Chains A and B, each alone.
Chain A
Amino acid sequence: MNAGARRWLPFLLLLPLTAVLCVGFLLPLIQSVENSFHGFSPRGIDRSTWTLAAYTKLFDPFYAGVFGRTLRISLIISAITAVLAYPVALYVAQLRGRAQAFLLLVYMSPWLINVVVKAFGWTLLLGPRGTINTILRTLGLTDAPVPLMFNETGVIIGLIHGHFIFVLLPLWAALAGIDPNLRWAAGNLGARPWEIFRRVTLPLSLPALMAGVIINFTMNMAAFATPALLGGTRVQVVSFLAYEVNLVDLNWPLGAAMSMVLLVATLVLVVLSQRIVASGRRRVMFEGAR
């Protein structure tokens, strides 16, 4: 192979995927950006006018409320998942190789099941006559069924389950990769177990935790089927509303504007959280060093 060919081969190999992404992702995205600035009439999108009407409409309490709910639910899910996944990752990381692989497979298994099937499974558990409410009634703990579905609780439960692995996996990898000598060294220098965790294990795993939480958060923001099935019409989230606006109302400008705001809001939060992680790594333990 001559030098010229060697230089161009990587680009050549990248070409097919780049082409697919351009046609299937980038072009529709650009089209959506354009659509969001067009007018809308009952006959459909009006490509002859340029307006911010679609964006202004998002300030309506209804749409603003849906955005607020989506953001709130996504943050709650990410926070709860981070708290739940950390001890699991700690536990898994200290097991032997084979047990680690097995347990990770168990935690990964929900991801292997179709999201609609998963949501339906949850309705069997969470419904008014579902397993959980039956148990509560049998034990005499409640008289009326506890509402666990068709509200935010249902969506949060379903998405914690569905997106758990995205926090667990990077966290486990980081924790398992920490040189055990670092913990021994901290203990040897007088750190009790809690101090070892606070000063060594936690800071060294924090970047991975944040990476996992960011992935988890973007997945929550974009979730469609689970909120639709477990939240019902009363707990609408942006992705589901955008689907309705686009495909039921056929209001493409408004649908596009919603998608754009969802995308930009998510990106901003991702970039912000990465900044926080980066600055956290610069923090010193003993400020007297300054």
Chain B
Amino acid sequence: MALELRDLRKRFGDVAAIDGVALRIEDGEFFSLLGPSGCGKTTILRTIAGIVTPDAGAVVLGGADITRRPLHARDVTLVFQNYALFPHLTVFDNVAFGLVMRRVARAEIRTRVEEALALVRLAGLGQRYPAQVSGGQQQRVALARALVVRPSVLLLDEPLSNLDARLRDEMRGELREIQRRVGITTILVTHDIHEAFAMSDRIAVLDRGRVEQIGTPTEIYQRPRTRFVATFSGQMNEFDGVVEAVADGRASVATPAGRRVAAAVTDDAPGPGARASVMVRPERVRLDPPADADQRLDAIVESVTYLGGSIRMVARAGGDRLLADLPTGDAPPPAPGARVVLGWRTADAVLVAAG
């Protein structure tokens, strides 16, 4: 079911945890709220669940305003960061909890719980207590408990953060696979960009209670619209300066050191005279750039680090420090101190307003 947040606001003392958030999540979509700790993402999730009451704004689920509806009467279920499994109940009873509360018939409870446990590959563990299963299994119990009631929306609060790295990668794929199979509208809260990129249809990047940008993972990574989104979603080469001219979807920026750098822009980009930055991802920077890489500069190699799949080169061009992630080839990379030409296409550079 589609979920809409309308100008949601919540203050805790002097801090605006949610500072006017508006967004719409489509039916069946996997949507992520991505941001650093304290950006308000968990508060938004708890507002949707009814744990937190917003000061203003509305939560609209499938056209119905549920902002004031009590916790127990909402058709959304939440997987807590610490799973919040009931320690005194078996795995089976944990999963059955929501169905018992909904007064589902006994026989149906049994089949649905067995189905849910099978879905998360926990069949046969129903009689264990939460303390008797591993962290990854606890995570899946929490997921089964939330899914078994067939909610309109599934909320996931950093569900993978308590797992070790290998298990996290595995669960990431599994979670997405289960979500696709069940076809449920899902909202994931995370501070992990890779998690958000790997699982989401769309992402809202949040900072200090505000939405910075909403878009597909590709849009967020390749066309960030604010400085925060650009730097939070990965590393960037930055050229700070003043916009000189905007024409034909191109803006050129002059840096204080006298360099001119261009970037592809859209209509709402900062206009001439505005302070702005041109940003380029390290993997878009090429060594001995081909003809279509129209942005070029001479640089001196400072360091070269072999990373297996790529080579991270740090180079200096005048006052600018440049990062370049180069493909590993047969030829050895240039040594520190070597003079090189680095370049990229204007289309690969973005322009964001000065932060």
- Cβ 8 A contact of B101, one of A181, A195, A288: A195
What residues of chain B lie closer than 8 Å to A192, measured between beta carbons?
A: 72
| B89 is an interface residue with CB less than 8 A from chain A | yes
| A to B contact number (C-beta, < 8 Å) | 85
What are the interface flags for B79-91 relative to A under an 8 Å C-beta threshold, 1 for contact and 0 otherwise?
Answer: 0101011111110
What residues of chain A lie closer than 8 Å to B80, measured between beta carbons?
A: 181, 184-185
The answer to whether A189 and B92 have CB atoms under 8 Å apart is no
- Give Cα distance in the complex from A281 to B51, angstroms: 28
The smallest C-beta distance from A290 to any residue of chain B, in angstroms, reads: 9
The answer to whether B101 and A189 have CB atoms under 8 Å apart is yes
A190: nearest chain-B partner, CB-CB: B101
Q: Which of A159-212 contact B (CB under 8 A)?
A: 179, 181-182, 184-192, 195, 199-200, 203-204
| B184 is an interface residue with CB less than 8 A from chain A | no
| B68 is an interface residue with CB less than 8 A from chain A | no
| A11 is an interface residue with CB less than 8 A from chain B | no
The answer to whether B93 and A185 have CB atoms under 8 Å apart is no
The smallest C-beta distance from A222 to any residue of chain B, in angstroms, reads: 32
| B181 is an interface residue with CB less than 8 A from chain A | no
Interface size class for chain B? 35 or more
The smallest C-beta distance from B305 to any residue of chain A, in angstroms, reads: 42
Interface size on A, residues (CB 8 A): 23
| A1 is an interface residue with CB less than 8 A from chain B | no
What residues of chain B lie closer than 8 Å to A281, measured between beta carbons?
A: 88
B76: nearest chain-A partner, CB-CB: A188
The answer to whether A189 and B145 have CB atoms under 8 Å apart is yes
Tell me whether A190 and B106 are in contact in the complex, defined as CB-CB below 8 angstroms, given that A204-B87, A281-B88, A289-B90 are known contacts.
no
What residues of chain B lie closer than 8 Å to A204, measured between beta carbons?
A: 87-88
The answer to whether B97 and A285 have CB atoms under 8 Å apart is yes
Tell me whether A189 and B93 are in contact in the complex, defined as CB-CB below 8 angstroms, given that A182-B86, A204-B87, A289-B127 are known contacts.
no
What are the interface flags for B31-61 relative to A under an 8 Å C-beta threshold, 1 for contact and 0 otherwise?
Answer: 0000000000000000001110000000000
What residues of chain B lie closer than 8 Å to A284, measured between beta carbons?
A: 89-90, 92-93
| B15 is an interface residue with CB less than 8 A from chain A | no
- Give Cα distance in the complex from A186 to B106, angstroms: 19
- Cβ 8 A contact of B49, one of A182, A188, A285, A288: A188
- Cβ 8 A contact of A200, one of B73, B77, B86, B113: B86
Q: Which of A182, A189, A192, A285 has the most CB of B within 10 A?
A: A189
The answer to whether A188 and B51 have CB atoms under 8 Å apart is yes
| A286 is an interface residue with CB less than 8 A from chain B | yes
The answer to whether B88 and A189 have CB atoms under 8 Å apart is no
A181: nearest chain-B partner, CB-CB: B84
A207: nearest chain-B partner, CB-CB: B88
- Give Cα distance in the complex from A204 to B109, angstroms: 24
List, sorted by A's number, 7 A–B pairs whose CB atoms are closer than 8 Å: A188-B71, A189-B77, A190-B72, A190-B149, A200-B86, A284-B89, A285-B97
Additional 10 contacts, C-beta under 8 A, given A185-B86, A189-B77, A285-B93? A181-B80, A186-B97, A189-B145, A191-B97, A192-B72, A284-B92, A286-B93, A286-B109, A288-B107, A289-B92
8 residue pairs, one from A and one from B, having the closest CB atoms: A190-B101, A189-B98, A181-B84, A187-B71, A185-B84, A289-B92, A285-B93, A286-B96
